[in-house]
Structures are given as C-alpha cells and as structure tokens.
Amino acid sequence: MPRRARVFSRSGYMHIIIRGVGRQILFEDNCDYRRFLATLERYCLETGVKICAYCLMENHVHLLVWDHKTSISLLMKKVGVSYSRYYNRKYERTGHLLQDRYLSEIIEGNRNFLMVFRYILRNPQKAGICKASEYPWSSYALYEKPLAFMELSQIRELLGDQKNYEEFINETADDRFMEYETHYYDDKWAQEILYQCLNIKSGTTLQTYDRKERNVAIRLLKSNGLTNRQIERLTGISRNIVQRA
C-alpha cells in the first residue's frame, strides 16, 4: 500500500519523535548533541519551522514544533540526511541511522499543548537520569532567552513568568496519556483523520486489506493521534491486533 500523506495540525503545533533505527544510539558524546542542535537550528531557520521545546535523549529526540507552512517533513528530511551523514562518517558506519518514518502527533487545544510541552522537558526525569532542570540537552533553560529558531510566545502567554514555568514543569504529572493510548479526541474527529490519512469513508474497509497493508494503515492512524480503542471501534479489528501493529 502506498505511503499516505501526513495529517497536519490546524493549530500548526506538532509533537515529533525521531528514533534511531533498531534503537540505535544517536549521540555518543557531547559533540554529537551539539552537532544535532546546530543542524536543527540551521534547517529550522531555512524552512521557517519553529521549535517550542526539544529534548535529545540517547537514542531518540522529542520536538514540539510550530509550522505554518507544512514544512515539517522537509525539515525532518534535511536534518536526518545531514546528521546521518555526519554520524556515519565520524563512526565509520554505513546504512540508515534514523527510523525511516518519524512519529508525529497533532496538537490541538491549550491543555494538550501544555501537557506535551511538559512531557518533553520531563523526559530525562521520567527516565531516571536527572531532574528536568539539570539535563543539558533539552530546552528547559531557554524559557526566558529562547534561541533564534525557537518560538515560546504561546507557552509564555499560558504560563507567565519563570517561577510559574518552573512550578508547572516540576508538578507531579501523569504522562501516561502521552504514550498514544489514553490521549483522546472524539470519534467524529477520529473519523475525519481516518478519511484524511487513508481516503476511506468507513474504517471497516481495513478488514479487506492484507496483513501488511492493514498494519501500515493502523500505525499511520496511531501516529496521527488515534487511540487503540478508537481504531478498534472504527475498524472492527480486534484490539490485540491493533496493539501488535
């Protein structure tokens, strides 16, 4: 089945996750982290995509981006090609470094925006590495002085000063919904995404796909924000199959 076009957020905000292929480590030393950030800055300025929050982990990257020109795919391609070339040359390796298709989740509404923002910055804390405020490879310390490729006007309007920002990030939060399972929009919204992603009016059409095509379609729906339960309801495909896909 041919790859379907991504669905972009009406608000312009998206949560992007980049992973190393096969859990490949992306950053071996501090120079690698700095190189990735320099690459990200270069191509953000070139494409016009703005970063609201970032966190670079050992084998994956979280980005909260704002894009008014649907240039995210172009940005991800440029960053991926440039950083992969640098990494392969430095470590004398060949082949793909990043997963072929990055994960993306549309963000609509202030609550979702705030939760994604906090989730990204709390990633090191959640992983047991250190407090969010102590992690050097996230945008935590840039709230009051964002870099040229960043856009924090929306989050600052919602949170206010530095004190409120720190209190919000440090609140005990249940981020389980960020695992693409309990995050929820109603089924009318889900039906619209189904049509936009797969160009089908009824989810039960997936039952006619062969196994490979069906699993690709399910993963695409998940990456655009549908929960396992919504996919099960709309397609009639058992939840076990949806989860495994």
Residue ranges of domains in the chain: 13-179, 187-244
Structure confidence at residue 183 (pLDDT):
40
Helical (H) or strand (E) element with 64 = strand 60-66
Are 196 and 222 in contact, with CB atoms under 8 Å apart? Answer: no
Residue 137 tokens, joined:
């490879």
Structure confidence at residue 1 (pLDDT):
44
85 secondary structure, DSSP code: H
Residues 6+ apart with CB under 8 A from 63: 15, 16, 17, 18, 40, 51, 53, 54, 120
φ, ψ for residue 199, nearest 5 deg: 55, 40
What residue ranges of the chain have pLDDT lower than 70? 1-10, 100, 172-186
Burial of residue 203, with CB atoms counted within 10 A of its CB: 0-12 exposed, 13-18 middle, 19 or more buried: buried
Q: Could you tell me how many helices (H) and strands (E) the chain has, helices first?
A: 10, 4
Structure confidence at residue 185 (pLDDT):
55
Structure confidence at residue 8 (pLDDT):
53
Q: Sign of torsion, CA 129 77 15 199?
A: negative
Question: Helices 228-235 and 187-198 sit at what angle, rounded to 10 degrees?
Answer: 70
Q: What number of other Cβ atoms are within 10 A of residue 64's Cβ?
A: 25
The β-bridge partners of 228 are none
Structure confidence at residue 182 (pLDDT):
35
Q: What is the pTM of this model?
A: 0.69
Structure confidence at residue 180 (pLDDT):
37
Are 63 and 53 in contact, with CB atoms under 8 Å apart? Answer: yes
The β-bridge partners of 134 are none
In CATH terms, 13-179 corresponds, of 3.40.50.1860, 2.30.30.100, 3.90.950.20, 3.30.70.1290, to: 3.30.70.1290
Q: Which of 207, 244, 199 is nearest to 222 (CA)?
A: 244
Contacts 24+ apart (CB under 8 A), 27-35: 27/56, 27/58, 27/137, 28/91, 32/87, 32/90, 33/136, 33/137, 35/83, 35/86
